[in-house]
Chain A
Amino acid sequence: MPKKYNIPTKTANPRFPPVGKYATVEFREDCAGSCHDCVKKKCVYNIFTDNACHWNTMKEPEYLYICKSCLRCVQECTKGIFSMSVNPEYLTLGDEYWTPEIINTTWAQSHTGKIPVSGAGYRGPFAGEGFDSIWTDMSEIVRPTRDGIHGREYINTSVELSRRPMRLEFNDDMSLAVDLPPIFEIPVPVLFQKPEFGVLSENVLLSMVRAAGAIGTLMFLKPESYSPAISEYSNSLVPCLTGDNYRKHEDKVKKSRMVELEYQPGIEGEFSGLRSMNPGVVITVGMSLDGSAAGRALALADSGVDTIHFYGSVDGREVGAEKQRYLKEMIREVHLKLVENRIRDKINLVFSGGIAMAEHMAKALICGADAVSIDVPLLVALECRLCYQCKVKAPCPVKLEEVEPGWGMQRTVNLMSAWRNQLIEVMGAFGIREARRVRGEIGRSLWFEDLERENFGPIFGTRKVAGAG
């Protein structure tokens, strides 16, 4: 039996106190002082006793990362001088798309490697836009394994990035008449790419690249970001080249298992040149996820490309349109175009832009992606607060430039372990034990518009409000 793939996790403590959701407010002038029954001493989670700064000397609101907001301190203080509020700094994290909640849960996963678990049911909106308008299906009796999703039987999350022949042909002597390209697969349907912003020091990039190596995936990187230290991990790197410059980077092409060429008309003419440098190399073409992406993908599909990598916007939308469609719709468009033209099985599709949580990865696969590529979560894993100070050259509040690559690698590995385990949870409910089979399994998902039409339509008539929000 082949060795079971597993991502080893190890606690990687934050370097800076993370911005917590809650802040205590205390009216000390009213403190009885002598009640000897201070609620701080009785905190079930020891958040006050574990940190001397929280004890007695509290002069201003304290921001509590680990506070669970059970409010016992508020309700049990003998003089009622304790209260709690949402930490105003917490509200400033990220933006409309990269919400404080996403950032906070990403930090927690990077810290512990554990998947987010909580009680008391779901807490969020009924449905939303984009991926939030999709639910994944479950089965009452179909099961992926006999002994649970973390049992001895294996749920396989690996996906292929190499092209496949559409059919086998044989010679008269029954020998193969077609060349079979080598199979290249990665153990998780996630790749990394360099974020478009952020403190992207060598240490930060090394953290990401080493993490890619540790979990067996790849990272897209432009040649100008290569340094001697980073080049040592060429096996985990995908140099992002162009039709004009790939010959200048022959050394990188030779050392890489996969190379990306930026799309330009006629780019398929360069594939032979690339393969002459490195015959086994997997070729991906990177292109913008715009309105004509599906047409371009179809034209390229039969050209010998292995994978097409679509770059969406940072908030998970179509690029360059006035009314930008969501990633889920764009993936459907490209996937279905290839399905309709009966060539989908030949190549692989990787989508990036706005993949912020494990559920986005699972839903992107359902929509038709083979894999996703992430960038911003890699920064958040290293404690980035998405304050965007770096965009105006202001100092980074968490000194990302000083990240120690070993620590950064572990934080990223932890995050990916948590994401993979969440994908397994979804696949377990599906009753599917191969991530490859999730691709385009739209029948195992439930879409807001369909559910409304099928179940509410007969009762309430026609929906008069657009969107799910």
Chain B
Amino acid sequence: MAAIRETLNLKEKQGLPLTVETPSHYRNPIGKYVVKRNSNCISCGLCAELCPYGVHPRYENFSQPLRPLDYRCIGFKCTGNDFYCVKNCPRQALSMGLNPLLKSLGDYRWPGEMIIGHWYMAETGNLPFVDLECSLGYTGGGFDKIRFRVPDSRDRIEISDEEIDTSINLNKRRDSAPERSISLPCYGGGMSFGSTALSVMTGRARAASRLNTLTCTGEGGYPEKLKPYSNHVITQVATGLFGVREETILMAPVVEFKYAQGAKPGLGGHLLGDKVTPEVAKIRETVVGNALFSPFPFHSVYSVEDHKKHLDWIKEVNPNALVSVKVSTPTDADMVAVGSYYAGAHIIHFDGCYGGTGAAPDIAKKNIAMPIEYAIPKVHRFLIDEGLRDKVCLIVSGGIRNAMDVAKAIALGADGVVIGTAELVALECIRCGNCESGRGCARGIATTDPELSCMLPEEWVEQRIVNMYMAWRKQWCELLRQYGMKSIKELVGRSDLLVHLDYLDQEERKSYQPAVKQKMVL
């Protein structure tokens, strides 16, 4: 592993992070199609020879038939191919069909295909060759109804991905704090130690380091294992002040003040007692087994002036840190943004209501605060009107699921986005939503259970996240090429490139991919 790491480091110094095949750690990966082999099989090996996608594994010196790796199957579009295994099998031992499991996988926001597609990206670093819809969900509104305008073919430029700039600047204030640029228009959202496994946190930090972006500690202290990657780790100061120490603020390139979060806007955080293990309690300086509440809101902030005092406090402790203010999306989001700017924020981070990874009351997730799709243009326009748009970095999050959502958010007016759920999906999160109770996540992601939290090695976490972002980057590069852009910064606020299906005439709507209307079982 060390040798591979050295090779990777060497190669990455010359360009973008390298993608490495990082397969599922489950025995039976889930795909869109299932391929079954029955007892008629004589293990002739023809299917293995024919299939270019590796659905039928076969090893030297082992002639027994193996279970097909059906998640690699391209499905019905293969039926016309000469190499279609089902048609070619001399014993008719193979069959192929849609995986019925898809009906019980996913939801309106993350349909099964989007989840599987992201697993594929995290495994390979490429876009899936299976026909999986990774960019659109079934919500019937917001990003799922917004499309990029059909580009003019004359605008297209032919440049390589390496020549396209996907970096963004986080400090636009031009104050005494240092310039800071990250190579992707997104960074990782705050997920605290206690809510996620340590290996997940560390793996995310390692990935952020390789991708030259950032990740965030969340409100749960700063584990020792993150320190080697401190230049890529945002530390969060939230209302409970868990684990906030001078030394961690000194280490951080960005300090995030969390006023509110999209998962539960207007409500405080809550870590159930089961998750407060001795390690978590130690780092948060609390008592083992006791549930931890972060009150809402900051009890010392009533005004922009109070807010400024907090930001000044951070700047006094660490003049080299950028200060981010994380808020949710109330009806006066635009005023909050301007207030935060005048309080001294470098980054204003709006977290819309449909996002969040942590456990939250369902009533809050669905109903409180506005979806981020509305907040972005609202804030963007107001900042322009106030003459502040070029002086502050507008970061958004909350229900931004995939590369195209990121691009749409930027075109609506954001500088960049924060990603939480998609990173967890890259780690094979299945979105069962049972992150909070008992032992926590059964898949070893959002848990501190001694057994479950050891399921995911941090190297695996790191590479899966790198792979996913590199696949996303390919999508952004292709989009930018279509519009003749060389930098993602050119896309900021280009809402003229977007259309919304519900605002088009029926005839015009036919030029765009229709919104899927499918009833899901929740």
Contacts and interface: CB of A to CB of B under 8 A. Distances in A.
| Pairs of residues from A and B, 6 with the lowest C-beta to C-beta distance, nearest first | A429-B266, A126-B141, A119-B435, A138-B266, A118-B433, A123-B107
A139 B330 contact: yes
A125 interface: yes
Interface string B430-454: 1111111111011100100000100
Interface stretch (A9-17, A82-90, A378-386): A82-90
A44 B105 contact: no
B141 A459 contact: no
A84 B441 CA distance: 19
B106 to A, nearest CB: 9
A90 B521 contact: yes
Nearest to B293: A148
A456 B375 CA distance: 10
Contact of B500 (A44, A134, A460): A460
B374 interface: yes
Interface string B103-141: 111011110000000000000000000000000001111
B101 interface: yes
B503 A464 contact: yes
B279 to A, nearest CB: 20
25 contacts: A22-B104, A70-B434, A74-B30, A75-B29, A101-B521, A121-B365, A123-B107, A123-B431, A124-B108, A126-B139, A126-B354, A136-B369, A137-B330, A137-B331, A138-B266, A138-B330, A143-B299, A362-B367, A426-B364, A426-B367, A451-B370, A451-B374, A455-B377, A456-B500, A463-B503
A468 interface: yes
Given A120-B421, A126-B108, 10 more contacts: A101-B522, A116-B362, A119-B359, A122-B354, A135-B370, A140-B259, A149-B267, A359-B363, A429-B364, A454-B374
Interface of A: 21-22, 25, 44-45, 68-72, 74-80, 83-86, 90-91, 100-101, 105, 115-127, 134-141, 143, 146-149, 357-359, 362-363, 422, 425-426, 428-431, 444, 446, 451-452, 454-456, 458-465, 468-469
B443 A70 contact: yes
A122 B109 contact: yes
A116 B363 contact: yes
B155 interface: no
B367 A68 contact: no
B67 interface: yes
Contact of B355 (A77, A121, A149, A446): A121
Contact of B297 (A78, A105, A143, A426): A143
A430 B368 CA distance: 9
B263 interface: yes
A120 B138 CA distance: 17
Nearest to A422: B363
Contacts of B365: 118, 121-122
Contact of B368 (A119, A138, A146): A138
B356 interface: yes
B140 A135 contact: no
Interface string B497-510: 01111111110000
A469 B430 CA distance: 26
B199 interface: no
Contacts of B203: none
A71 B30 contact: yes
A76 B354 CA distance: 31
Q: Is the interface of B mostly helix, strand, loop or mixed?
A: loop
Contacts of A126: 108, 139-142, 144-145, 354, 371
Contact of B295 (A85, A139, A148): A148
Contacts of A44: 438-439, 442, 452
A428 B296 CA distance: 9
A104 B412 CA distance: 38
A459 B259 contact: no
Contacts of A22: 104
Contact of B357 (A119, A141, A357): A119
Contact of A122 (B353, B437, B501, B503): B353
B451 to A, nearest CB: 9
B185 interface: no
Nearest to B358: A119
Given A359-B366, A460-B500, A121 B357 contact: yes
Given A140-B328, A462-B503, A68 B363 contact: no
B79 interface: no
A138 B369 contact: yes
B432 A69 contact: yes
A365 to B, nearest CB: 13
A93 to B, nearest CB: 10
Nearest to B375: A455
A68 B105 CA distance: 11
Contacts of A91: 521
A431 B328 CA distance: 14
A115 B108 CA distance: 22
Interface in B187-220: none
Given A70-B442, A454-B378, A122 B266 contact: no
Nearest to A90: B521
B446 A119 contact: yes
B313 interface: no
A357 B421 CA distance: 27
Contacts of B302: 141
Given A122-B354, A140-B259, A85 B421 contact: no
B430 A123 contact: no
B95 interface: no
Interface in B28-43: 28-30
Given A70-B443, A123-B522, A456 B503 contact: yes
Nearest to A138: B266
B505 to A, nearest CB: 6
Contacts of A461: 503
Interface in B447-503: 452, 495, 498-503
A72 B503 contact: no
A250 to B, nearest CB: 44
Contact of A123 (B141, B145, B433, B434): B433
A458 B399 CA distance: 23
Given A75-B30, A126-B144, A429-B368, A460 B503 contact: yes
A452 B142 CA distance: 10
Nearest to A25: B100
B502 A140 contact: no
A68 B434 contact: yes
Contacts of B442: 44-45, 68, 70, 72
Contacts of B362: 105, 115-118
B416 interface: no
A468 B435 contact: no
A363 B432 CA distance: 28
Contacts of B367: 134-136, 359, 362-363, 426
B380 to A, nearest CB: 10
Contact of A426 (B104, B138, B355, B363): B363
B27 interface: yes
Nearest to A46: B438
Nearest to B447: A44
Contact of B103 (A45, A86, A120, A428): A86
